[in-house]
A and B are shown apart, each in its own frame.
Chain A
Amino acid sequence: MKLNIEGLLVYFPYDYIYPEQYSYMLELKRTLDAKGHGVLEMPSGTGKTISLLSLIVAYQKAFPLDVTKLIYCSRTVPEIEKVVEELRKLMEFYAKETGEVNNFLALALSSRKNLCIHPEVSSLRFGKEVDGKCHSLTASYIRAQRHSNPDQPVCRFYEEFDAVGRQVPLPAGIYNLDDLKDFGRRKGWCPYYLARYSILHANIVVYSYHYLLDPKIADLVSKELAKKSVVVFDEAHNIDNVCIDSMSVNITRRTLDRCQSNVETLQHTIQKIKDTDAAKLREEYRRLVEGLKEANVARETDVYLANPVLPDEILQEAVPGSIRTAEHFLGFLRRFLEYLKSRLRVHHVVQESAPQFLKDIFEKVCIDRKPLRFCAERLQSLLRTLEIADIADFSAVTLISNFATLVSTYSLGFTIIIEPFDDRTPTIANPVLHFSCMDPSIAIKPVFQRFQSVVITSGTLSPLDIYPKILDFRPVTMASFTMTLARTCLCPLIVGRGNDQVALSSKFETREDFAVIRNYGNLLLEMSAIVPDGIVAFFTSYVYMENIVASWYEQGILENIQRNKLIFIETQDAAETSMALEKYQEACENGRGAILLSVARGKVSEGIDFVHHFGRAVIMFGVPYVYTQSRILKARLEYLRDQFQIRENDFLTFDAMRHAAQCVGRAIRGKTDYGLMIFADKRYARADKRGKLPRWIQEHISDGSLNLTVDETVQLSKHFLRQMAQPFRQEDQLGLSLLTLEQLQSEDMLKKIAQIAHQA
């Protein structure tokens, strides 16, 4: 259907539209008009992706000069593929309606592992190996060596691409990963480099967060993307953690040992080169005097893994004299290494800020701040000069030099914590130096600064105002959309008491309480008897789950549950978990019924959807607070309080509730789906917790479903499940939650739509 969104003609490839999709497009259009950033929350399963795509594509077609490119960031490869498929549908619709030949180029980009077609390289199992091997075949000096030595192996796909591929642009069309590979095979070009090259002139790019947020990768891949792009972060509820992870460094004793051996190897190589080709080192020296600006001109294949965010002024300067020659630099590294080793030899926990650390290092080993800042650049230059092919081995020394650069560059937003042992095993010495980033805005700032519109969207972003705060940007639109439903297909219930009136809670004091554990068991037992097919139960942590399950086993509750359903458990082992998942789905499929016990923040809670019968009920045992005794977390909370005036408790609750919402949201993946959401902790009933759930869940929590006992929950659930099992056809939705074009244009529907968007 063709829509008129405030004067913009939007092609929408379906015959029907949800009212909230229309409302979403309105908000999105306003964001683009204002050339600003937006935060939009819309429940999963309401067609977020297609609304985004249709509006932005329409905008691109209408104002080709204002918006040149859409950068769509998603989390996983399957999600990326899904986006491309939606896009393909949209483009087919365009072609059918307008009759024009499509001149849009859209492509997905992923790692070498997913795109490589070289027979040997692509058979490797780990991404790191693929990257290393690819590098050893395509680096510029390797290819230069081939001129003198034809036996040197190179990648023929890359050679072919380099020879021809750059002149001929990728023909317009929609390419997912497989399409790229096919195209690459047909032409004999390397799909990975083809894609990386083509994103510069593509209209739509779909790739993972890390290509924009991780400074090491972003610098390579996304540096040259046009400023007039729209960036969309989908499923962005965890974006602050992604930012923080990409900037943090952890150093253990093993890292230091490996780094030590790296330095030895470097020493040897330098010695060798000195004997054979001293001119090379002299040349490097000259280059370093000139400054690092030229160093950046090196070709795209010369990837030396890391490139942390360097402020521009550093690049302008020349490398300080103390680390300019290779030997001096190695000596410098050694000193730094020794210093770190001595710091790791502590017996108590140390926490200090970056300036403190710098002062200490100056006093102890006389290392100045300036050379530290250049450490990462200097190392890269050295590795390049020494022509070391296999860069995978040098990850340890790269990590250390990154750390050196970061610690001397940022005096705020980072903290250094040295822990002599793990808190859980105080007797085993395992010192770790955490250099942890506390400010997610550092990593994402370049994105907000560079691109004209950045849209952050997800099913669970509540409370909306906290994201602009912690990511430090100013959105022009913030809106939360609800689901319009023809039938109430989600049923959130808060269970606060057991049948014996014992308050249910996972809080620390009552964690070991047998009465609570027994009542939790009863809840699961009763639910297993009345909920068909699959139930997913989430615990707050692995330890808590183990304790509870062991205790249930002793009390015989597990045995009773197994009469109703089979039980599967998520473990920390990925292979075991995926096995359990597979069997779980099989049991749901053939009518035996199953329960999956898993952990909030685990793999299951984030990436796996439980559509229809795979998740008829989700039970959340307790509030999934993050482990509050962790020093890193404490430091971050302190930072948030000082910098952004966010109280500790507010942030902890926000974090717990977004994970709880993620967990229970697994059950509802669309309007025809239905599911129970059971929050088994009395603390959920409090206004401060409840108020932080997404609006589309909140509006279905009535006062009557706040502090239920197990019995009452069973009654309500039974009633709900029977109602939901009544036949439900598309006609029942039409006009209410599903609109045709005519219905959409009617006056009162437009009025209603205006109410859907809840301005935060």
Chain B
Amino acid sequence: MDDEPERTKRWEGGYERTWEVLKEDESGSLKATVEEILFQSKRRRVVESHGQVRLGMMRHLYVVVDCSRSMEDQDLKPNRLTATLKLLEGFVDEYFDQNPISQVGVITTKNKRAEKLTDLAGNPKKHITALKKAVDSACVGEPSLYNALNLAVQTLKHMPGHTSREVLIILSSLTTCDPANIYDLIKTLKGLKVRVSVIGLSAEVRVCTVLTRETGGSYHVILDESHFKELLMLHVKPPPASSSSECSLIRMGFPQHAIASVSERDARPSFSMSHLDSGTGPGLTLGGYFCPQCHAKYSELPVECKVCGLTLVSAPHLARSFHHLFPMLPFLESPVEQLQGSRFCEGCQGELRDKSAYVCPSCRGVFCVECDLFIHDSLHCCPCCIHSRAAL
């Protein structure tokens, strides 16, 4: 992990007024710097995510990418579109890593229309190739929020009630060109319990504020590229399920990976079901995952069986989704001065330079803010606790 968030080169950045930043820090009282506020909210996120809440584990998420003229703006390098798509690739990877049994689809909107780039599916590869291809597309006209949302709703409304229905809009333009009153659509979305979140690339737009507030989503505007990444990653974590969503038991298949060698007698190469559609990749393979119900073969998990509709997962996938249900306790914030013992972070062994440090409630290990975030966001367990347990 880098010491500093990656920033653009100095000559690429906008007009920076370093002397003003300094002034604000000194007088301190009146002008709280935005950095401070951001830091607070970072911390709050860790705190907020705690609690025994029901989380939607099976997510259906449509990502709407604005491809209008304003995406050509070069305030993100090399331009907004390229930067966005690049970050989205990372997002898709991370998303499936954290939510293995969920699905994603991508919609683009430009020239007052909306198009599906990829359908809802659980295979990251397909999305990533589609995103890579989309980099070259031209950015023209205005986006249409209405059309994009409408398109997403057409699919999402058929999703079963125990799964979450989500839309994430990445909006660069400040205007939207709608064929009908968007407030009616917002009502429909609310009725269908579709949660819409927006990440704005330029400024706060009223209609998005209303849209997200009504549907229970979040609305953020980026400051720079690293902040953009941070905001995207917020959406990796599953949102709390609404209390009204159905709970039901879901049938799942756990196929064993059968490795057959050519030497075996009854080994026959066969087609994987997932290759039938795409028609790419190696055709015949020997091993694979076989659906326990209908014995269709798949080369990758998780997937929904094309023949019998059974959800096929592996046990580690489920386990990875699991930690969201039992989040780590948040670390306690305490001023550095009051700490006894060493002034070093247990995680990175760096000196504690900030005003406050974070203490694990169970093992009393001290961490810096960066490590605190890393532990809660990625590790999901406290290294000190594990270490002491291993020592026993």
Query: Which chain A residues (696-750) contact chain B, with CB distance < 8 Å?
Result: 702, 704, 712, 715-716, 718-719, 721-728, 732, 736
19 contacts between A and B (CB under 8 A): A484-B30, A487-B34, A487-B37, A530-B202, A531-B174, A564-B174, A589-B206, A590-B181, A591-B175, A613-B204, A613-B205, A715-B14, A719-B14, A722-B202, A722-B223, A726-B38, A727-B220, A732-B32, A732-B40
**Known pairs A591-B206, A722-B222; A486 contacts B175 (CB<8 A):** no
What are the 10 closest A-B residue pairs judged by CB atoms, nearest first?
A: A591-B207, A725-B221, A613-B206, A725-B204, A721-B203, A532-B203, A591-B176, A532-B174, A532-B205, A593-B175
Please tell me if B70 contacts chain A, counting CB pairs below 8 Å. yes
- Interchain CA distance A612-B203 in the complex, whole Å: 13
Collect the chain B residues with CB atoms within 8 Å of residue A590's CB.
178, 181-183, 207
Q: Beyond A530-B202, A532-B202, A722-B223: 5 further Cβ-contacts under 8 Å?
A: A532-B206, A588-B206, A718-B203, A732-B40, A736-B29
| Binary flags per residue of B171-211, CB closer than 8 Å to A gives 1, else 0 | 00011111001110000000000000000101111111100
Is the pair B203, A530 in contact by a Cβ cutoff of 8 Å?
yes
> What is the chain B residue whose CB lies nearest that of A733?
B32
* Docked complex Cα distance between A484 and B175 (Å): 33
A residues 451-486 near B (Cβ < 8 Å) are 484-486
* A377 CB within 8 Å of chain B: no
Question: Quick check: is A293 within 8 A (CB to CB) of the other chain?
Answer: no
- Nearest CB on A from B186, distance (A): 10
**A593-B174, A721-B202 known; A716-B34 Cβ under 8 A:** no
A520 to B38, CA, bound (A): 36
Q: Chain B contacts of A727 at CB under 8 A?
A: 41, 220
- In angstroms, Cα B200 to Cα A531, docked, is 13
Whether the Cβ atoms of B206 and A533 lie closer than 8 Å is: yes
Q: Does B20 touch A at the CB level, under 8 Å?
A: yes
Residues of A10-29 at the interface with B, using a CB-CB cut-off of 8 Å, are none
Residue A752 is within 8 A (CB to CB) of chain B in the complex = yes
Q: How far is the CA of A277 from the CA of B364 in the complex (A)?
A: 108
State whether the Cβ of A565 lies closer than 8 Å to any Cβ in chain B.
yes
| Residue in B34, B178, B181 whose CB lies within 8 Å of A726 | B34
- Verify A722–B221 contact, CB threshold 8 A: yes
Main secondary structure of the interface of B (DSSP, over half): loop
**B75, CB-defined interface residue at 8 Å:** yes
Is the CB of B15 closer than 8 A to any CB of chain A? yes
A647 on the interface (CB 8 Å rule)? no
B202 touches A724 (CB 8 A): no
Expressed in whole angstroms, the Cα–Cα distance for A544 and B50 within the complex equals 60
Whether, in the assembled complex, A488 has its beta carbon less than 8 Å from a beta carbon of chain B, the answer is: yes
Q: Do A591 and B205 touch (CB < 8 A)?
A: yes
- Produce 1/0 per residue, B203-239, CB < 8 A to A: 1111111000000000011110000000000000000
Known: A487-B31, A529-B70, A565-B175. Contact between A726 and B221, CB under 8 A?
yes
- Chain B residues within 8 Å of A591, by CB: 145, 175-176, 178, 182, 205-208
Within 8 A of A (CB), among B30-72: 30-32, 34, 37-38, 40-41, 70
Contacts of B174 in A (CB 8 A): 529-533, 564, 593
Contact with B along A681-705 (1 / 0, CB 8 A): 0000000000000000000001010
Q: Assess the B20–A702 pair: CB atoms within 8 A.
A: yes
Q: Which partner residue on chain B sits nearest A613 by CB separation? A: B206
A561 smallest CB distance to B (angstroms): 11
Contacts of B182 in A (CB 8 A): 590-591
B17 contacts the other chain (Cβ, under 8 Å)?
Answer: yes
- Interfacial residues, chain A to chain B (CB-CB below 8 A): 484-488, 529-533, 563-565, 588-593, 612-613, 616, 702, 704, 712, 715-716, 718-719, 721-728, 732, 736, 752
Q: Chain B residues with Cβ under 8 A from A721's Cβ?
A: 202-204
Would B20 and A704 count as touching, CB distance under 8 A? yes
Q: How far in angstroms is the closest Cβ of chain B from A562?
A: 11
Q: Which residues of A contact B175 (CB under 8 A)?
A: 564-565, 591-593
Q: A590-B182, A591-B207, A725-B221 are in contact. Are A736 and B202 (CB under 8 A)?
A: no
Known: A565-B175, A718-B14, A718-B202. A726 touches B37 (CB 8 A): yes
Closest to B205 in A: A532
What is the bound-complex CA distance between A376 and B202, given in angstroms?
Answer: 65
- Min CB–CB distance B205 → chain A (angstroms): 5
Chain A residues positioned under 8 Å from B206 (CB to CB): 532-533, 588-589, 591, 612-613
When chains A and B are docked, how far (Å) is the Cα of A702 from the Cα of B181? 43
Q: Give the residue name and chain of the A residue nearest to B210 (CB).
A: A589
Q: For the complex formed, measure the closest distance between the CB of B208 and the CB atoms of chain A, giving whole angstroms.
A: 7
Supposing A718-B75, A732-B37, A736-B30 touch, asked if A592 and B204 sit within 8 A by C-beta, the answer is no
Closest to A587 in B: B175
How far does the Cβ of A284 sit from chain B's closest Cβ, in whole Å?
Answer: 67
Q: Which residues of A contact B70 (CB under 8 A)?
A: 529
In the assembled complex, the Cα of A431 lies from the Cα of B328 at a distance in Å of 86
Cα–Cα distance between A144 and B70 once the two chains are bound (Å): 77
> Looking at B17, B29, B178, B203, which has the most chain A CB atoms within 10 Å of its CB?
B203
Indicate if the CB atoms of B223 and A723 lie closer than 8 Å. yes
Cα separation A715 to B30 with both chains bound (whole Å) = 24
A465 to B209, CA, bound (A): 43
User: How far apart are B41's CB and chain A's nearest CB, in angstroms?
Assistant: 6
Contacts of B34 in A (CB 8 A): 487, 723, 726
B177 surroundings in chain A (CB, below 8 A): 592
Give the docked Cα–Cα distance between A565 and B205 (Å). Answer: 13
Shortest A584–chain B CB gap in Å is: 13
Inter-chain contact B203/A722, CB cutoff 8 Å: yes
Among B15, B75, B200, the most chain A Cβ lie within 10 Å of the Cβ of: B15
Residue among A531, A715, A725, A752 with the highest chain B CB neighbour number at 10 A: A725
Min CB gap A288→B, angstroms: 67
Chain A residues in 8 Å Cβ range of B38: 726
Closest to B211 in A: A591
Q: Which chain B residue shows the least CB distance to A724?
A: B204
A485 to B178, CA, bound (A): 37
Q: A719 to chain B: which residues have CB within 8 Å?
A: 14-15
Bound together, the chains give a CA A704 to CA B16 distance in angstroms of 11
* CA gap between A723 and B203 in the complex, in Å: 9
Q: Which residues of B from 285 to 315 have beta carbons under 8 Å from A?
A: none
Task: Report how far A613 CA is from B70 CA in the complex, Å.
Answer: 20
A712: nearest chain-B partner, CB-CB: B15
Residue of B nearest to A708 (CB): B15
Q: How far is the CA of A722 from the CA of B207 in the complex (A)?
A: 16
**Chain B residues near A736 (CB-CB < 8 A):** 29-30, 32
Complex CA gap A586/B269 in Å reads: 64
Question: Which residues from B are CB-within-8-Å of A588?
Answer: 206
Report whether B203 and A725 are in contact in the complex, using a CB–CB cutoff of 8 Å. Answer: yes
CA of A736 to CA of B174 in the docked complex: distance in angstroms? 32
Cβ–Cβ < 8 Å partners of A726 in chain B = 34, 37-38, 41, 220-221, 223
User: What residues on A are CB-neighbors of B203 within 8 Å?
Assistant: 530-532, 616, 718, 721-722, 724-725
A588 and B175 CA atoms in complex are apart in Å by 9
Q: In the complex, A702→B31 CA distance in Å?
A: 14
Q: How far is the CB of A95 from chain B (nearest CB, A)?
A: 35
Q: How far is the CA of A725 from the CA of B209 in the complex (A)?
A: 10
